[in-house]
Structure 1
Amino acid sequence: MPKAYWISTYRSISDPAALAEYAKLAGPALQAAGGRFLARGMPAQVYEAAVNQRAVLIEFDSVAQAIAAHDTPEYQAALDALGNGAERDIRIVEGVA
Structure 2
Amino acid sequence: MPAYWISSYRAIDDAERMAAYAALAVPALTGAGGRFLARGLPEQVYEAGLEERVVLIEFDSVEAARAAHDTPAYQEALAALGDGAERDIRIVPGA
Which interval holds the TM-score relative to the shorter structure?
A: over 0.9
Question: Which structure 1 residue ranges, 4+ long, deviate > 3 Å from structure 2?
Answer: none
Structure 2's unaligned 5+ residue stretches are none
Shift of 1:75: 0.1
> Superposition RMSD on alpha carbons, in Å?
0.5
Letter in 2 for 1:82: L
Partner of 2:3: 4
Question: Would you say how many aligned residue pairs link Structure 1 and Structure 2?
Answer: 95
Matched, 1:82 2:81: yes
Letter in 2 for 1:72: T
Partner of 2:17: 18
Give secondary structure in 2 for the equivalent of 1:40. Answer: strand
Letter in 1 for 2:30: Q
Give aligned-pair identity as a percent.
68
TM-score, scaled relative to structure 1: 0.97
TM-score, scaled relative to structure 2: 0.99
Letter in 2 for 1:17: E
Matched, 1:73 2:66: no
Rounded to whole Å, the distance in 2 between the matches of 1:56 and 1:88 is: 11
Structure 1's unaligned 5+ residue stretches are none
The one-character-per-residue Cα deviations of 1:30-51 (angstroms, maximum 9, x if unpaired) are 0000000000000010100131
